[in-house]
Structure 1
Amino acid sequence: MAESANHKDCRQFLIDGMAKLGVDATVSTEPPIVQSPYGENSFICPHGTRFWLEPTSEQIAQWAKDGAR
């Protein structure tokens, strides 16, 4: 994945990158409060900030509806 040139765009850059993979994701600079089966989905941007990526509740519901495992 290419990188964002401007740090203020990093969060949206990651959201857009996940969308290109077909995943509706939430991206935060804070780790998830509740552990999920998605593991350590963190990414450090080129500017040094750690972001956590997790599928949205809606995405998880869609996967369940579609029978994804």
Structure 2
Amino acid sequence: MLIAGRLGVSLSVRGVWELLRRHGWSCRQPARRAVERDEAAVAGWVKETWPQAKPPRRRSGHGWSSRTRPPSR
């Protein structure tokens, strides 16, 4: 939406990646952690906030590929 709004062209996600890569951009991990990082705040967030935001785990076992119900037996 940002690209379309500013440049007037519509690009797919893949098209955006191709364009960025063509201009020398890539996905990279930061070389080091920020000096300002507060380890206590991060640990508190992981303990309190993340479990609420994390999606529930899927049930183990065999699933059903159809969106309709499986035939009753």
TM exceeds 0.5? no
**TM-score, scaled to structure 1:** 0.26
Higher strand share: 1
Structure label with greater radius of gyration: 2
Q: Which has the higher contact order (CA 8 A, sep 6+)?
A: 1
Question: Where is the helix percentage greater, Structure 1 or Structure 2?
Answer: 2
